[in-house]
Amino acid sequence: MRLSRRGLIGLGLALPAGFAAADTVWPTALVMGTGRPGGYYTTYGPEWGRLAEASAGVEIAFRASGGAAANILLIEQGEAQLGMTTVTVAAEAMTGEGAWTAGVKFQEFRALFPMFPSVLQIVAPQPSGIVSLAELAGQVVGIGPDGGTGATAVPDIFASVGVLPARVLTGDYEQQVRDMFAGRIAACAFIAAPPVPAIVSAAMGRKLSLIGFSQAEVEQVARTSPGMTRMVLQAGLFPGQSVAVASVGTANFAIGAASLQDTVAEAVTMAALRNQADFAALVPAAAQTPETAPILQGGVMFHPGAVVALRRFGMDVPKKFVEA
């Protein structure tokens, strides 16, 4: 099914200088799906929107969502034209294999540009004595906002390494950290750009155990969860963290509706690629050089307009991964 965006977002802005005249009808406004408080989508998205408005002349409204999966749903339903997601969630969306997809294969979103990595960060209060994945079995674990990468991927990650919590609960990051210290949940397992601000704040005044993965566990997750690879939480990332901790993670990337005009997709992508320093100031993980490789490995299709901008910055996207 291909949804029409023209009736939703209006028409009429003149084409900014520097873009091809062949695509002369621009929307007056776009909607961007973001995330929940305490996650980096709520800071990265508005900054991207500000830069895109300044360079492309398109107004952008922001819609709070659960995150990676929710943003794909918003685009699929025609309620947003821009958003952010992760490779592991996108892979599930395209195949319809994730439990959250109800077997539906989503086809209305396209990759625009790479953003930053997200890592699974699992913490428990030191007094609890929980220091390993195995000790999460039979416990109540918070996995972040409903509609986010953690909510969709963490249960499968736990199952792949034989860890079966009594329950996994979704909720905003800060609230789940508070619930953890109140004893209502045993641990928090968030997939997000490190360090998660809510965990950093908690680590300032209380002692936390940061739970990692063995090499065998990393390999098992990579085999069973498309888009998940080995990542490391470097020493010093959190207050009191003296050693590096191995974990798993996935790549974040910007998405747009398949029906976005090529020039619009090119403009909003170019706005981000030209201003990486702005994002790094807000999201520490965005300081890493962005790469398209993880998105390509996930089999995600790119918007042709975005590819024009990516190639200007030396990022190659093979033709077989470009689809209008």
Full pLDDT tens readout for the chain, 324 residues: 333 332 222 222 233 333 333 344 556 689 999 999 888 999 999 999 999 998 878 899 999 999 999 999 999 999 999 999 999 999 999 999 988 999 999 999 999 999 999 999 999 999 999 999 999 999 999 999 999 999 999 999 999 999 999 999 999 999 999 999 999 999 999 999 999 999 998 888 889 999 999 999 999 999 999 999 999 999 999 998 999 999 999 999 999 999 999 999 999 999 999 999 999 999 999 998 889 999 999 999 999 999 999 999 999 899 999 998
- Give the pLDDT of residue 98: 86
Q: Is residue 81 within 8 Å of 74, Cβ to Cβ?
A: no
- Give the pLDDT of residue 297: 95
Q: Which domains does the chain have, with CATH numbers?
A: 6-115+252-321 (3.40.190.10), 118-249 (3.40.190.10)
Residue 76: which of 99, 103, 107 has the closest Cα?
107
- Give the pLDDT of residue 25: 52
> Is the pTM for the entire model greater than 0.85?
yes
Q: Is residue 60 within 8 Å of 80, Cβ to Cβ?
A: no
Q: Find the length of the chain.
A: 324
Q: Could you identify the residue written with the tokens 């045993």?
A: 186
- Give the pLDDT of residue 26: 54
- Give the pLDDT of residue 8: 27
Q: Is residue 272 within 8 Å of 279, Cβ to Cβ?
A: yes
Give the E-state strand segments of 87-139 in sequence order: 109-125
Q: Could you identify the residue written with the tokens 């540009």?
A: 113
- Give the pLDDT of residue 11: 23
User: 89-98 burial, b for 16+ CB within 10 Å, e for fewer?
Assistant: bbbbbbeeeb
Angle between helix 87-95 and helix 68-76 axes, rounded to 10 deg? 40
Q: Could you identify the residue written with the tokens 């969860």?
A: 225
